[in-house]
Amino acid sequence: MKTIKGPALFLAQFASDDAPFNSWDGITRWAADCGYAGVQVPSWDARLFDLDTAAESKTYCDEWAGKARDNGVAVTELSTHLQGQLVAVHPAYDAAFDGFAAPSVHGNPAKRQAWAVDQMQKAIRASAHLGLTALPTFSGALAWPYIYPWPQRPEGLVEMAFDELAKRWRPLLDMADAHGIHLCYEIHPGEDLHDGATFEMFLDRVDQHPRAMMLYDPSHYLLQCLDYKANLDIYADRIGAFHVKDAEFNPTGRQGVYGGYQSWVNRAGRFRSLGDGQVDFGAIFAKLAAMDFDGWAVVEWECALKHPEDGAREGAAFVRDHIIRVTPHAFDDFADGGADEAANRKMLGLSQ
């Protein structure tokens, strides 16, 4: 068994134009002061990271990661959630997702998709320069507008969408393999890979690619009423990254999973700071320890109620308290009487 690394913090929700969150030096010092040992970095945020330079220069990567270490934190992973989202976009979301891309490709879906692929390629090279092995991302979505089977979906529509999704991702998976990187798809509503069934549909189309992994975040499963503990048992060999995020689901006579178009505060299902929701993290950390997950426990703060800085500080302590330092020996080794084949045969009453 292996002890999970952590606590770490995903910086996407904290980066801003205000100090200390507007510079790499400032935000890493702040994260260490909160009690974190690592940070997951949004690769698209130029205030913290220069992806173009990192893709070409190992020297830049060494110096950049070294500053974080000097400030008390390791770089756990780069995140490409926004760029991965743009690898596959249904036209219904063109306007909404244009803001994720460079202004030069706004209004041009083909150029935007090419830009997203280039960004993914750069992130794979940068991750290799940093000595990282996991790259969290989104899959993007072509079939999401048809998630509910009304009106009835035409035969072959979903299959065609997944065929195209696999076609777009296969070259990136092959590139990741050449660089020793797992692409860890966050299983998330809004993505075509939003549960185990859809993940398996994708795996089938990329020939069970060894670099196609999951980013496990139980909050998204709880809000889908999916068994997030059984999910770990089923996909133990495919868990490549871990977001520690809490949620609660309290359906009423007026709304359930779909939320009635209400704000996050007023939804039946909403994200909460760690310990304030319904996720059984004791069971999750035990399962991850037993299945030899050797990645980082990364806090992703998203809460409809609590101030982010409070959530961050409380989250570091929460994760530290839940990480299980695994035992190097069995608890009953003290009673081991020793044995050999002859002794075993004797105990079983077998002839010598």
pLDDT of 292-339, one tens digit each?
999 999 999 999 999 999 999 999 999 999 999 998 877 777 667 777
* Cα angle 110, 115, 117; round to 5: 100
The phi, psi pair for 186, rounded to 5°, reads -70, 120
Contact at 8 Å (CB) between 85 and 97?
A: yes
Q: What is the pLDDT of residues 129-165, one digit of tens each?
A: 999 999 999 999 999 999 999 999 999 999 999 999 9
Residues forming beta bridges with residue 299, ordered by sequence position = 9, 244
Round the average pLDDT of the chain to a whole number and report it: 96
Helix then strand count (H, E) for the chain reads: 13, 10
pLDDT at position 336: 74
Neighbours of 165 (CB within 10 A): 25
**Mean pLDDT across the stretch 275-289?**
98
Q: What is the pLDDT of residues 58-105, one digit of tens each?
A: 999 999 999 999 999 999 999 999 999 999 999 999 999 999 999 999
Residues forming beta bridges with residue 212, ordered by sequence position = 183
pLDDT at position 335: 67
Q: 230: pLDDT confidence band, cut at 50, 70 and 90?
A: very high
The CA distance from 271 to 186, in Å, is 16
Q: What is the pLDDT of residues 12-27, one digit of tens each?
A: 999 999 999 999 999 9
Q: Which tops the pLDDT comparison, 352 or 133?
A: 133
Which residue, 115, 113, 244, 238, is CA-closest to 183?
Answer: 238
Determine the CATH number of domain 5-347: 3.20.20.150
Q: Residue 283 is which amino acid?
A: A
Residue 60 token pair: 């830049």
> Has residue 340 got a pLDDT over 90?
no
Helix axes 58-71, 24-34, angle to 10 degrees: 40
Q: 30: pLDDT confidence band, cut at 50, 70 and 90?
A: very high
Contact at 8 Å (CB) between 293 and 4?
A: yes
The predicted model scores a pTM of: 0.95
User: What per-residue string of b and e applies to 57-94 under the rule 16 or more CB within 10 Å gives b?
Assistant: eeebbeebbeebeebebbbbbbbbbbbbbbbbbbeebe
> Has residue 342 got a pLDDT over 80?
yes
The CA distance from 192 to 271, in Å, is 21
